[in-house]
Amino acid sequence: MSQADDALAKKRFFALNLMRLMGAAFVAIGFILIGGGFTFAGQPADRWIGAAIVLVGAFDFAVMPLLLARRWRSPKDL
């Protein structure tokens, strides 16, 4: 493995972990918004906005790293 490949792997590892961290932060913010910890647009709308943020955060946490890892996977030699 060359130094360029090693640097690329480190960048991709950082991107995958940052995606997971941001997904977890979105889920936490969404639950705080649903629970009424702070107001954004008023209570009926805050619950819907919070639910949407939770869903986006769950997708970012669980699915996006898998999609990126599959896209970045090294081609298999035949």
Instruction: Share the mean pLDDT of the chain.
Output: 91
Q: Distance between CA atoms of 60 and 2, rounded to whole angstroms?
A: 31
More confident residue, 3 or 76: 3
Q: How many residues does the chain have?
A: 78
State the pLDDT at residue 78.
56
- For residue 70, the 8-state DSSP code is H
Q: What is the identity of the amino acid at 69?
A: A
Q: Give the residue extent of every domain in the chain.
A: 22-72
